[in-house]
Amino acid sequence: MGLGISREALPSPLTIGNPQLSEKFNLPRLTTTLVCDDIDNPSISMPLTSTKVQNLIREAEHKLEVQDVQEYSQSIILLQQATILGSAYAATKLGALHLNPQNTLTASNYLQAAGYYSIALKLVLMIPCKWWDLKLLLDIISDGWYKLFRSRFDRQRDLHTWNHGIKLMKQIDKTLKDPNFIEVLTHKDNEKWRAIRINLVFCYALTAEADNDYPLALKLYQETERIGSCGLLLADKLIKKAHTKYRLLESRVPRVQPVCVQCGFEAKELTEIWRLLVCPKCQIVACCNRDCLANHFKYHQKFLTN
């Protein structure tokens, strides 16, 4: 339906008391999209909750296919109910619907989208990481947060929402980088893991660039490249984009010590560093203002005449 959300993330009914059916439906997989009533014992989570969530999501998706304004509004309500019951899948779908509405009469609302993507990450964080659905997590990060940072957010206007998203992403990233988490990944999950980390680090780099912290942005774009290709097209394109970004920003980073060669002023704040004037003649020192630069030029002139 063009929402960028995997159908494999859609929860299956919880089946209790039948080991064969439990194995067939991969019972713990429900916890990848739904916060269980008993997180420590998902196999005994209340089946009524999981069945209710499944029915809400399926009814909502059916109403979305009808392409009717009233049905569309009703589908939003159903997904909200599923989100309240702990469905990260439903929260992600709500984020996608508010970012790119399927109904032509419904306006996009990027702030509401960010709100639902925040809820989705918070619900994922409530689920034991060994049951995380990496495809759903990739949808949240790449189709949600990355697109918000890239084309919807304004760093000054949306500062709080932007920073809140980064904070949640770093909490997710902390778990993703845990060796105990990485060592149990299958080959397929490893591809998704790389794709998620590529998107995460690229978002950190975009944030640093928006703050004019070019040295940090360069470091993060390099880190994006070092993660390496994952075989997923959109994520691999970000690696190439990170390389391009690095080349463009490299020339903006001062290659000199942030100290005025004439008066000894030491620039400590980022804004002060960017105001330094690099000597165009020797390109190895900087001055804090034009007067100091003019005095430094006299040194060059004296050197040439001797």
Which pLDDT tens digit goes with each residue over 67-102? Answer: 788 999 999 999 999 999 999 999 999 999 999 998
Is residue 30 within 8 A of residue 55, CB to CB? The reply is no
Lowest pLDDT segment from 9-23, 148-162, 183-197, 205-219: 9-23
Q: Which domain holds residue 293?
A: 270-305
Number of domains in the chain: 2
What does the alpha-carbon distance between residue 26 and residue 32 come to, in Å, rounded to a whole number?
Answer: 11
Q: What is the average pLDDT across 199-208?
A: 98
For residue 143, being part of any structural domain is answered with: no
Predicted confidence band of residue 17 (pLDDT cuts 50, 70, 90): very low
For residue 137, being part of any structural domain is answered with: no
**What share of the chain in percent tops pLDDT 70?**
83
For residue 123, being part of any structural domain is answered with: yes
For residue 289, being part of any structural domain is answered with: yes
User: How high is the pLDDT of residue 45?
Assistant: 52
For residue 297, being part of any structural domain is answered with: yes
Among 129, 154, 186, where does a domain finish?
A: 129
Q: Is residue 91 classed exposed, middle or buried when 0-12, 13-18 and 19+ CB atoms within 10 A define those classes?
A: buried
Q: What is the average pLDDT across 276-302?
A: 86
Q: What is the average pLDDT across 45-62?
A: 83
- Stated length of the chain: 306
What does the alpha-carbon distance between residue 192 and residue 199 come to, in Å, rounded to a whole number?
Answer: 11
For residue 64, being part of any structural domain is answered with: yes
- Phi, psi (rounded to 5 degrees) for 266: -105, 120
Is residue 63 within 8 A of residue 72, CB to CB? The reply is yes
Averaged pLDDT score across all residues of the chain: 84
Predicted confidence band of residue 9 (pLDDT cuts 50, 70, 90): very low
User: How high is the pLDDT of residue 24?
Assistant: 36
Is 90 exceeded by the pLDDT of residue 137?
yes
Q: First CA to last CA across the chain, in angstroms? A: 76
DSSP state of 2: -
What does the alpha-carbon distance between residue 286 and residue 292 come to, in Å, rounded to a whole number?
Answer: 9
SS3 131: helix
Among 129, 154, 184, where does a domain finish?
A: 129
Among 107, 129, 151, where does a domain finish?
A: 129
For residue 149, being part of any structural domain is answered with: no
User: How high is the pLDDT of residue 42?
Assistant: 53
CA angle 39, 189, 46 (to 5 degrees): 20
For residue 253, being part of any structural domain is answered with: no
Is 60 exceeded by the pLDDT of residue 220?
yes
